[in-house]
Amino acid sequence: METRLTLSGITKTYPSVVANDGVDLQVRPGEIHAILGENGAGKSTLMKIIYGAVKPDAGQVFWNGRDVHIANPAAARQLGIAMVFQHFSLFDTLTVAENIALGLPGDTNLAELSGRIEATARQYGLDLEPQRHVHTLSVGECQRVEIVRALLAKPQLLILDEPTSVLTPQAVERLFETLRRLAAEGCSILYISHKLDEIRALCHTCTVMRAGRVTGVCDPTQETAASLSRMMIGSEPPAVHPRERQPGEVRLALRGLSLEKSHPFATALADIDLDVRAGEIVGIAGVSGNGQQELLAALSGEDQRARPDAVLLDGQPIGRLNAAQRRRRGLGFVPEERLGRGAVPDMTLAQNILLSHQDGAAVAKGMIRFDAIAQLAASIIGRFKVKAGGPQATAGSLSGGNLQKYIVGREVTRSPKVLIVAQPTWGVDVGAAAQIRAELVALRDAGCALLVVSEELDELFEISDRLVVMAKGRLSPSIRRADANVDQIGQWMSGLWQGGPAAQEVAHA
């Protein structure tokens, strides 16, 4: 069978690294082809070369048997190639529809396009409002925009990077059915995911990359998660086994936290009560866009509209304190957006230390201790196995997974009393994810109270002591991890717990 896409000897070198080293790849029409590799293996660079966003130093690209030079993404789209990036390419001040229109002809009718967006989003189970401005969207909702934008083009080759992180377990299978239907119609799909079970369930072929090279091609249906992990990182990631322990005193408490919408497309928070105790991890599950973003802003100090006593830290009201004041009292925070909020892209890793370390070794009597922050950055790089060119490397030069390890490491080294973490391992390879989870569990065992917001149910079941679910701005009752199951949590993610928002709607119908 003629191939849809063939790469031959693709090489791309940057000053400090060989990102792709003689890569060969073949993708057939109708094939769902996984690209598997740890963070920094060269997957993203290779995908950007296919999409025309990066030019290779050597090698050839064949499209439907024809030698092509893809000059830019517009040329790729003309060929029939669509891509959803891990780091999104959206303009915050434009609406969803306006962002999608940017890649379409200038005479595109926005009203008609909005209808197509709504229809496509509904077809794929991805709730979207075309008139919402992007700056009001969560990370998960931004990913939905990128997926719908790609699907509107009806591509011959669709490149997807971690597409299921925004979906409930029930919706994942619906997306898989859609991808299988697209493949049956002849569309080729390049599928990047760190969820090994997904790859085994969905993909026909898997190409494994390590350090910029292809190290193997296999049929994932004939492999186990353990064997795929060995191919990718050379070993199986260590399992995280949290020990049962009695939690201590309440460190973080929410008491009737309610907030009106801060903008027309926000989610209002309604009467949220929650305790997080010393020495426990409480996991918050939920589909992106159900109030997690608003809750995190109220907890971090970015939104100071709550009653002072609606948020308590060690029994003291902090609802009106700013982020710096909360940090000084022992609160740590890892936001879901790595670049722009978690780290400043153009600043070095050492300089990014100052975003959260503003006392102690880093700053003395108002003066920055540059040697100290460089040493601290180097220690985080070493401890968390961050692939970077050292403390003076810019945050923007790191892969998404390596930057995430660095940001988590920066917060962990502060030894906070309470740590709030959003999407701790989103887009992170299995080895790095295991390491991050182990560090969070170790922090819990040292007496920290952790609140983890994640759309990775497997992750929450692995590390949490208790689980709650957020839906439509409300919080479910808490349930011990040992008493919970995926089906129940999946239903709760739709608001179907006793007294939950969906149950109330059914009762009033």
The SS3 of residue 208 is strand
pLDDT score for 507: 55
- The residues near 483 (Cβ < 8 Å, ≥ 6 apart) are none
Query: Rg of the chain's alpha carbons, rounded to an integer?
Result: 23
Tokens encoding 163: 């597409």
**Strand-by-strand arrangement of the 5-14 sheet:** 17-27, 5-14, 58-63, 66-68
Q: What does the alpha-carbon distance between residue 301 and residue 322 come to, in Å, rounded to a whole number?
A: 5
Q: What does the alpha-carbon distance between residue 281 and residue 102 come to, in Å, rounded to a whole number?
A: 43
Q: What does the alpha-carbon distance between residue 202 and residue 197 come to, in Å, rounded to a whole number?
A: 9
Q: What does the alpha-carbon distance between residue 260 and residue 199 come to, in Å, rounded to a whole number?
A: 41
Tell me the C-alpha to C-alpha distance, in Å, between residue 485 and each of 228, 295, 479, 503: 26, 24, 10, 19
**Do 250-330+416-508 and 5-233 fall under one CATH topology?**
yes
Q: Which residues pair with 160 in a beta bridge?
A: 84, 191
269, 247 Cβ separation under 8 angstroms: no
Consecutive H or E run containing 421: strand 418-422
Consecutive H or E run containing 377: helix 370-383
Tell me the C-alpha to C-alpha distance, in Å, between residue 120 and each of 145, 216, 273: 11, 36, 37
CATH architecture of 250-330+416-508: 3-Layer(aba) Sandwich (3.40)
pLDDT score for 265: 80
- Give residue for tokens 């396009």: 113
User: The pTM is what?
Assistant: 0.74
Q: Which of 86, 35, 433 is nearest to 238 (CA)?
A: 433
Tokens encoding 21: 């080293």
CB atoms within 10 A of CB 180: 14
pLDDT score for 508: 54
Element counts in the chain: helices (H) and strands (E): 17, 23
Q: Is 65 exposed, middle or buried (0-12, 13-18, 19+ CB in 10 A)?
A: exposed
CATH code for the part of the protein at 5-233 = 3.40.50.300
333, 300 Cβ separation under 8 angstroms: yes
- Per-residue three-class SS string for 297-331: HHHHCCCCCCCHHHEEECCEECCCCCHHHHHHCCE
The SS3 of residue 169 is helix
pLDDT score for 340: 83
| Residue 474 backbone phi and psi in degrees, to 5 | -120, 160
Q: What is the pLDDT of residues 423-441, one digit of tens each?
A: 998 777 778 888 899 999 9
Tell me the C-alpha to C-alpha distance, in Å, between residue 257 and each of 73, 135, 299: 45, 24, 10
47, 159 Cβ separation under 8 angstroms: yes
pLDDT along the chain (509 residues), means of 10: 92 89 96 91 92 95 95 93 82 93 86 93 83 84 85 92 69 80 92 88 94 93 88 72 82 97 90 97 91 95 95 97 94 90 94 88 87 95 91 90 91 95 84 88 95 89 95 95 90 87 61
Q: What does the alpha-carbon distance between residue 498 and residue 500 come to, in Å, rounded to a whole number?
A: 5
Tell me the C-alpha to C-alpha distance, in Å, between residue 52 and each of 44, 55, 82, 84, 295: 12, 7, 11, 13, 39
Q: How many Cα atoms are found within 13 Å in the side-chain-facing hemisphere of 158? A: 27
Q: What does the alpha-carbon distance between residue 436 and residue 281 come to, in Å, rounded to a whole number?
A: 14
Vertex 337: Cα angle to 494 and 91 (nearest 5): 95
- The residues near 19 (Cβ < 8 Å, ≥ 6 apart) are 12, 13, 42, 45, 46, 212
pLDDT score for 300: 95
Q: What is the pLDDT of residues 140-164, one digit of tens each?
A: 688 788 889 988 988 999 999 877 7
pLDDT score for 503: 61
**Every domain of the chain and the residues it spans:** 5-233, 250-330+416-508, 341-414
Q: What is the pLDDT of residues 211-257, one digit of tens each?
A: 899 999 999 999 988 888 888 877 666 666 667 778 999 999 999 99
